[in-house]
Structure 1
Amino acid sequence: MPDLSIRTARPEDEAALRRLDHDTWSYQHAVSPRPAPDAPFFRDTAGPGDHFVAELDGRLVGYIRLGHPTPLESNRHVRFIGGLAVAEEARGRGVGRALLRAAVEEARTGGYRRITLRVLGHNTGARKLYESEGFVVEGVQPEEFLLDGTYADDVLMGMRLI
Structure 2
Amino acid sequence: MPDDDLIIRPAQPEDERELAVLNRAAWSTLSDVSPEPPADDAVFDERHTPEQFLLAILDGRIVGYVRQVPATPLASNRHVRQIQGLGVDGTVRGRGIGRRLVEAACAAARAEGARKLSLRVLGWNTPARRLYESCGFAVEGSLAEEFLIDGSYVDDVWMARRLAD
Q: TM-score, normalised by structure 1?
A: 0.96
Q: Distance in 2 between matches of 1:119 and 1:113?
A: 20
- SS of the aligned residue for 2:39 comes to coil
Matched residue count? 162
Structure 1 runs (4+) greater than 2 angstroms displaced: none
How far residue 152 of structure 1 moved from its aligned partner, in angstroms, is 0.6
In structure 2, how many angstroms separate the alpha carbons of the residues matched to 1:93 and 1:132? Answer: 14
Deviation of the 1:46 alpha carbon: 2.0
Which residue type is aligned with residue 129 of structure 1? L
Shift, 1:2, TM fit: 5.9
For 1:20, the equivalent position in structure 2 comes to 22
Q: Tell whether the 8 Å contact from 1:2 to 1:57 is kept in structure 2 after alignment.
A: no
Amino acid at match of 1:27: T
Contiguous gaps of at least 5 residues in structure 1: none
Q: Residue 142 of structure 2 aligns to which amino acid in structure 1?
A: V
Could you tell me which residue of structure 1 aligns to residue 87 of structure 2? 85
Which TM-score applies when normalising by structure 2? 0.95
Give 2:128's aligned residue: 126
CA drift of 1:139 comes to 0.1
Alpha-carbon separation, structure 2, partners of 1:50 and 1:95: 18
One-letter code aligned to 1:37: A
- Post-superposition shift, 1:45? 2.0
Cα-Cα RMSD? 1.1
Q: Does 1:145 align with 2:121?
A: no
Q: In 1, distance between residues paired with 2:85 and 2:119?
A: 9
Secondary structure of 1:134's counterpart equals: coil
Deviations 1:87-113 (Å, cap 9, x if unpaired)? Answer: 100100111011001000011121111
Question: Distance between the aligned counterparts of 2:29 and 2:66, measured in 1?
Answer: 18
1:155 maps to a residue whose letter is: V
Matches within 5 A, 1:12-91: 12-91=14-93
Percent of pairs with identical residues: 53
